[in-house]
Amino acid sequence: MVFAFFKRLFGGSPAEAAGAPAAAAPAASSGPKLRTYKGSELGIHREQISQAAIRTCEILQRAGFKAYVVGGGVRDSLLGLTPKDFDVATDATPEQVQASFRRARIIGRRFKIVHVMFGRETIETSTFRALQNDAETDEHGRVLRDNVFGTQQEDALRRDFTVNALYYDPIADQVQDWLGGVADLKARTLRMIGDPATRYREDPVRMLRTVRFAAKLDFHVDPATLAPIAELAELLENVPSARLFDEMLKLLESGHALACVRRLRAEGLHHGVLPLLDVIVEQPDGERFIEVALANTDARVRAGKSVSPGFLFATLLWQLVSVRWRARQAAGEHSIPALMEAMDSVLDEQASKLAIQRRYIADMRDIWGLQPRLEKGGRGAARALEHLRFRAGYDFLLLRVEAGELPEELGRWWTEFVDGDSGTREQLLDARPGDARPAATKRRRRRRSGARKGAGEGDAAGDAGGEGGGDGGDGGTVGREPDDDPRWREIPGQGGGSPRDRDPPA
């Protein structure tokens, strides 16, 4: 089989070559030729590579196997970036890898990889594998099984981009390049290995990877790599939703989410690539909020902080909720039920499409559900503090302040309240509700029964109403504050789901 593969690759007739894994564009005529470089001359040094990855390679090599650092670990090190993680590729079988280490675990049933553990670090170690010509695919060409071991050359060819197919041997200080990845790296070009359309059909997720890497690395996308995406983007619909969700999270948690979204927009790819991206870039009035939210996420990621998917999705879908909340209040619904209904309708529509998992949906409900209470501040604040997701709700409120949806003084009040000792908190409570003009605000609200908003009033709750935050709703809730509304108590409480929770997407 390997022989046939090489015959096709190096000397086979065009007819024979049809259906074979195509060689990389720069090497298309002659098949992949190995070029080797001294690592240190390219600017990659052992010190940049994790000790655990080096140890993994050393131990496998000593046992007589080939072993290289591959993928993002090499690419990012060569670019002077800090890699997210290090993967190792080897010609040892998973069982042989496992037998070589004290702490190693085989993962996966269909295609096995090995997690080799050193202290707290885990090195994902995979056996060279090959693209199969006769691989089982769905009707669109998506490869359903991808589990045949192969040679190192075959392993290079089955990878996605030339810059992701570099093999670094930290012991020999050598970079091995079969597909022109070093040249592409120098030219800052992202180039799909093989025929891009075929590779996207095999695995549509590669389209998202194109966008993610282009944004993360600030690379130019080779025109042939870019061209098929607009036409093939709809194939993403056939990808199992859990995988799509994972890849989407990678994009959003890449530390370059804003750049990714801007890139999609600039290249006209924001339609249909991912339902979530349509939501993100097409929100009515929501651009500012989304930009602030994504910039905030990127800053957190770059500072090494965690990002909770529930929070992230709550921000991404907020404008939809907010617009519907406002509309319902304008139609005379009470604030809290209006918010509940808006949340329900958005989640019904989006959650299964986006494959958002149930546990994240519970977080989203909590974060959104806290907003009216947080907008009010005042006496309800002390109770809100006890909410399990108060912190997330408060962070969310601060994003809304930053996006100009709510007055800055409201954010300041909360920050002082959160940071303050009990004496400070009492003082702040006296200064609120309604902060600057507490009594007037309340009176005005009730008098105005049904009036939608009091633009420019300057009080936090009133301004909040301007964007759907409660003023209009309070107007509708004549004589009854949202906290007294029985519906409020239905808001998912301490960590559990709410009775209104929908089933998780399939």
Sheet with 174-177, strands from edge to edge, namely: 35-38, 174-177, 166-169, 67-70, 87-90, 121-127, 113-118, 104-107
Q: What x/- string results for residues 84 through 103 when contact with Mg ion is judged by CB under 5 A?
A: -x------------------
**CB nearer to ligand ATP: pick between 21 and 469:** 21
Nearest to 463 by CA among 445, 482, 446, 481: 445
Distance, CA of 435 to CA of 84 (rounded, Å): 46
Distance between CA 307 and CA 298 in Å, rounded? 9
Closest CA to 65 of 97, 36, 35, 39: 97
Integer Cα distance of 290 and 121 in angstroms: 34
72 sits near Mg ion (criterion: CB under 5 A)? yes
For residue 416, what is the DSSP state?
H
Using the minimum distance from each CB to ligand ATP, give the nearer residue, 104 or 205. Answer: 205
Binding segment (CB under 5 A) for Mg ion, from list 16-24, 79-87, 106-114, 187-195: 79-87
Minimum Å gap between C-beta 72 and Mg ion is 4
Please report how close the Cβ of residue 161 comes to Mg ion at its closest, in angstroms.
Answer: 12
Q: Among residues 5 and 390, whose Cβ is nearest to ligand ATP? A: 5
**Contact flag: residue 26 with Mg ion (CB under 5 A):** no
Residue among 85, 173, 195, 278 flagged as catalytic = 85
Considering CB distances under 5 to 8 angstroms, the limit depending on partner class, which of ligand ATP, Mg ion, none binds residue 501?
A: none
Residue 164's binding partner among Mg ion, ligand ATP, none (Cβ under 5 to 8 angstroms by kind) is ligand ATP
Which stretch in 77-85, 187-195, 198-206, 252-260 sits in contact with Mg ion by CB under 5 A? Answer: 77-85
| Pick from 253, 250, 276, 255: nearest CA to 264 | 276
Nearest approach in angstroms of CB 75 to ligand ATP is 6
Work out whether 255 is an interface residue with Mg ion (CB under 5 A): no
Whichever of 72 and 369 has its CB closer to ligand ATP, that residue is: 72
Residue with nearest beta carbon to ligand ATP: 72
Question: Residue 506 burial (CB < 10 Å; 0-12/13-18/19+)?
Answer: exposed
**Active site includes 160?**
yes
Instruction: Out of 87, 177, 184, 298, pick the active-site residue.
Output: 87
CA 211 and chain centroid, separation: 12
Give yes or no: 87 in active site. yes
Q: Give which of 505, 494, 449, 500 is closest to 340, Cα–Cα.
A: 500
In the complex with Mg ion, the residue whose CB is nearer, 71 or 470, is 71
Closer CB to ligand ATP, 5 or 200, in the complex = 200
- CA separation for the pair 238, 370 (Å, rounded): 36
* Only segment of 66-74, 159-167, 409-417, 497-505 that touches Mg ion (CB under 5 A): 66-74
Whole-number minimum distance, CB 52 to Mg ion, in Å?
Answer: 14
Per partner kind, with CB cut-offs from 5 to 8 A, the member of ligand ATP, Mg ion, none near residue 126 is none
Nearest distance from C-beta of residue 46 to Mg ion, angstroms: 19
Shortest Cβ 231–ligand ATP spacing (Å):
19
Q: Which stretch binds Mg ion (CB under 5 A): 53-61, 64-72, 103-111, 215-223?
A: 64-72
Express the helix, strand and coil content of the chain in percent, nearest 5 each.
55, 10, 35
DSSP letter string, 347-402: HHHHTTTTT--HHHHHHHHHHHHHHHHHHH-TTHHHHHHTSTTHHHHHHHHHHHHH
Point out which residues bind ligand ATP (CB under 6 A): 71-72, 84-85, 87, 159-160, 164-165, 203, 205-206
Q: How far is the CB of 292 from ligand ATP (least distance, A)?
A: 24
**In the complex with Mg ion, which residue's Cβ is closer, 74 or 374?**
74
Length of the chain: 506
474 closest CA partner among 439, 450, 454: 450
C-beta of 163: minimal distance to ligand ATP in Å?
8
Which of Mg ion, ligand ATP, none is residue 195 near (CB under 5 to 8 Å by kind)? none
Nearer residue to Mg ion within complex by CB, 72 or 468: 72
Q: Which is nearer to Mg ion, 122 or 315 (CB)?
A: 122
* Spatial separation of the C-alpha atoms in residues 239 and 245, rounded to whole Å: 10
Contact status: 194 vs Mg ion (CB under 5 A): no
Q: Which does 476 bind (CB under 5 to 8 A by kind): Mg ion, ligand ATP, none?
A: none
The yes-or-no answer on residue 485 being catalytic is no
Q: Which of 76, 155, 160, 471 is catalytic?
A: 160
- For residue 85, the minimal CB distance to Mg ion (Å) is 5
**Contact present, 128 and 91 (Cβ < 8 Å):** yes
Among the listed ranges 65-73, 112-120, 206-214, 344-352, the one in contact with Mg ion (CB under 5 A) is 65-73
The torsion region of residue 222 among left (phi > 0), alpha (psi -120 to 50) and beta comes to beta
C-alpha–C-alpha distance, residues 327 and 479, integer Å: 21
Q: Are strands 104-107 and 113-118 parallel, antiparallel or unpaired?
A: antiparallel
Give ∠ CA 274-278-284 in degrees, rounded to 5: 165
**Smallest Cα–Cα separation from 369: which of 418, 313, 321?**
321
Q: Residue numbers of the site for Mg ion (CB under 5 A)?
A: 71-72, 85
By annotation, the residues acting in catalysis are 85, 87, 160
